[in-house]
Structure 1
Amino acid sequence: MPASAAGAQGRARGSAIGPYTVLRELDDEPSGIPVPERRFIGRSADGDRTVLIGVPLPGADSGRFLAEAADSRYLLGPWSSPAAEVAAAGDDPWHARPYAPVLPLPAALTVHGGPLPERTVRALGAALVETLVIGHGQGLAHAGVSPAAVLLAADGPRLTCFGSVRAAAGDGTPRSGLPGLESGSLPPEQATGGRPHPAGDVYALGATLAYAATGHTVPERDELPAALRSVVTACLSREPAARPRPAELLDLLTADGPPAPASGPPHSATLPDADGGPAGRAAALLAPGWLPGRIIAALARQSAGLLAADLPVPPAPQD
């Protein structure tokens, strides 16, 4: 039996991960897109807390998984989704964050029946760019942007799976073909073992937006919607220096008219405001209607199903 199948059986409904009981697996839509970690929806024994739980894939470095989960707690911004809890040293590795109704991006395409509308892709891109800008300003490269790392909620996307590239292999180690890595989202310079850096995040973002718009992370140029073609292909440049800066990318994604010149200064609206909150422009694109109706309906069904779910009774211990 493949390790992934054995792992799935070992995390059935009612099993325990840390202090939580598994209600269901989050990544249950057949998409063929690798996931950087196993993800579940769980609930505390008293029923008061419902959380999203992540555990490492079979064969992953548990120490690095926990270190990256701990690092993610420093990420800021409304569209990031850092870990709120991390397993204690010596325990089986896991991390958790508060639950909100979400669909992984690949599942959202399955629910929608194909690629997402241009409005949705632009809003998704703007929110993710703002998240990356804030992280880069903190001196962090996300190093794990991919379709499966993006969760869609009614009020906007959430970027998860911080550091999956670094968790998969040490610096200098070729990363192509490792479990959980979506090859189309892996920047060429990191596939050969280069250190994660902000320009690599831009490449991975371009692949993620390409997936949202076409269903493929490496589409043919003509597959991309005309209005998104130039921005996505620029992100996917094999040369890191040729990729747009995140601030330029935000201009392109939020422009109502002609794109801002690529040589223009960074947009101050991509940074936190004086109170530490987002001063970004993605919120304007995330107005009601940014997500297609079928996805909104799926989020509502997920929420209703969990509200009605009884906490599974764990099996009695064997004598």
Structure 2
Amino acid sequence: MNTTEGATSVAAGGGPARAAASRRRVGPYTLITAVDDPRTKVPVPERRYIARSADGQHTVLLSLPHPGGDPQRFRAEAEGSRYLLGPCATPATALGAPGEPAWYAHPYLPVLPLPTVLAVQGGPLPERTVRALGVALAETLAVLHGQGLTFAGVSPAAVLLAADGPRLSCFGAVRAAAPDGTPRSGLPGLEGGSLPPEQASGGRPRPLGDVYALGATLAYAATGHTTPERDELPAAFRAVISRCLARDPGARPQLAELVDALAADAAPAPESRSASLLAPGWLPGRVIAALTHQSAAVLAAEIPVEATPNPAPHPN
């Protein structure tokens, strides 16, 4: 892997670097820009970039483990993500080959991490946005749990927002960061407020841990903090988010209860409860404008096109 640095962030309005010759290569891809804005100061479980294939035909979201992390665990979790189902799942569709540094990728669409969305918005998100976010993520987690899987890594940075709804990224961040039985508090990239107490102390991830982490993520969307005081939470979902954040897993709601509480006034839809909540207007105008800016900046990025005799592997 060429370690020449050249990618900057377009997440919060900056433009991609123009010095094409200094761009970094990862596997068959050239990095265009970082997805995450370090100014938000929110830990990110993995390093994420927008990248393009050497032939210039395929743009992807590409992830790398943190320096010093366990690349084998990272690779294993990325491989496992290929089987994820659910409307907000982002399974890996291309992975680094054996013998090269660990990375994985999936097709690009304009997205902003939740912390960047709050920065763009200038504060917490409107009630409509938080409700739609919660229902869509809860429905996806329910599908994963039905597959016998635990996401183990829901956090503000793991949630990417697109115009048509949220996406869950950073699959298995907790497990990729440390083996079961190893305390995980304070590990690089993991947001402490989103870690269920039983996982922070080294316990094996369980489905009700995902409920805790989802509650912390919704609390962040509504207040800017993953561990707010109860009175800081909007009255509309104060009770249900507080239950999600219960230290006792048995006191947390089931995902179906969470969906019912957040989608109580939503019109029924044949696809899912989130379908009507994710109708146009679910995201604030400033966020839509930032997504549009990112898309335009990525399209305008100057990437040298290389003729390759063998097509580069790319997400379907």
TM-score norm. by structure 1 comes to: 0.88
- The equivalent residue for 2:28 is 19
Query: Could you report, residue by residue, the CA deviation over 1:151-210 in whole angstroms, capped at 9, with x for unpaired residues?
Result: 000000000111110111111111111111100000001111100010000000000000
CA distance in 2, matches of 1:126, 1:30: 28
What letter is aligned with 1:213? A
Q: How does 1:206-221 map to 2 (within 5 A)?
A: 206-221=215-230
User: Partner letter of residue 173 of structure 1?
Assistant: T
Q: Deviations over 1:275-294 (max 9, x none)?
A: xxx94211110000000000
- In structure 2, the residue matched to 1:74 is 83
C-alpha deviation, 1:28, in angstroms? 2.2
Matched ranges for 1:29-40 at <5 A: 29-40=38-49
Q: Match for 1:308 among 268, 288, 300?
A: 300
Q: Is the CA contact (8 Å cut-off) linking 1:83 and 1:95 kept in structure 2?
A: yes
Deviating runs (4+, > 6 A) in structure 1?
Answer: none
AA in 1 matched with 2:186: G
**Letter of the 1:115 counterpart:** P
SS in 1 for 2:39: coil
How far apart, in 2, do the equivalents of 1:126 and 1:290 lie?
Answer: 12
> Is the alpha carbon distance of 1:144 and 1:10 closer, same or farther for their aligned partners in structure 2, counting shifts above 3 Å?
farther
Residue in structure 1 matched with residue 178 of structure 2 by the alignment: 169
Q: 2:125 aligns with which of 116, 120, 123?
A: 116
CA distance in 2, matches of 1:82, 1:11: 27
Corresponding residue of 2:20: none
Which amino acid in the other structure matches residue 284 of structure 2? P
Q: Please name the residue that 2:16 is paired with.
A: none
Equivalent residue runs for 1:85-164 within 5 Å: 85-164=94-173
- Report SS of the residue matched to 1:151: strand
Cα distance, 1:88 vs. partner? 1.1
Q: Quick check: 2:184–2:201 contact (8 Å CA) kept in 1?
A: yes
How far apart are the structure 1 equivalents of 2:157 and 2:163? 17
Whether the 8 Å CA contact 1:36–1:180 is kept in 2: the answer is: yes
Q: Which residue of 1 aligns with 2:17?
A: none
- CA–CA separation in structure 2 for the residues paired with 1:283 and 1:313: 39
Q: Deviations over 1:219-275 (max 9, x none)?
A: 111111110101110000000000000111111110029xxxxxxxxxxx99xxxxx
Decide whether the 8 Å contact of 2:56 with 2:303 is kept in 1: yes
Alignment of 1:122-271 (within 5 A): 122-256=131-265
**Which sections of structure 2, spanning at least 5 residues, go unmatched?**
8-22, 307-316
Please identify, of 296-305 and 27-36, the stretch whose mean Cα deviation from structure 2 is larger: 27-36
Deviation at 1:29, TM superposition (A): 4.8
5 Å matches for 1:286-297? 286-297=278-289
1:84 and 1:77 map into 2 onto residues whose CA distance is 15
Q: Percent identity?
A: 67
Deviations 1:16-44 (A, max 9, x none): 01100011111025111100000000001
What amino acid is aligned across from residue 12 of structure 1 in structure 2? G
Bigger mean CA offset, 76-85 vs 198-207: 76-85
Cα pair 1:23 1:312 within 8 Å, conserved? no
Give distance in 2, aligned partners of 1:233 and 1:161: 25
Question: What is the distance in 1 between the residues matched to 2:201 and 2:271?
Answer: 36
Offset, 1:11: 3.8
Find the aligned partners of 2:283 and 2:5 in 1 and give their Cα distance. Answer: 31
Q: CA RMSD in A?
A: 1.7
Amino acid at match of 1:39: R
Deviation at 1:77, TM superposition (A): 1.5
Corresponding residue SS for 1:147 = coil
Which structure's relative contact order is higher, taking Cα pairs within 8 Å and 6+ residues apart? 2
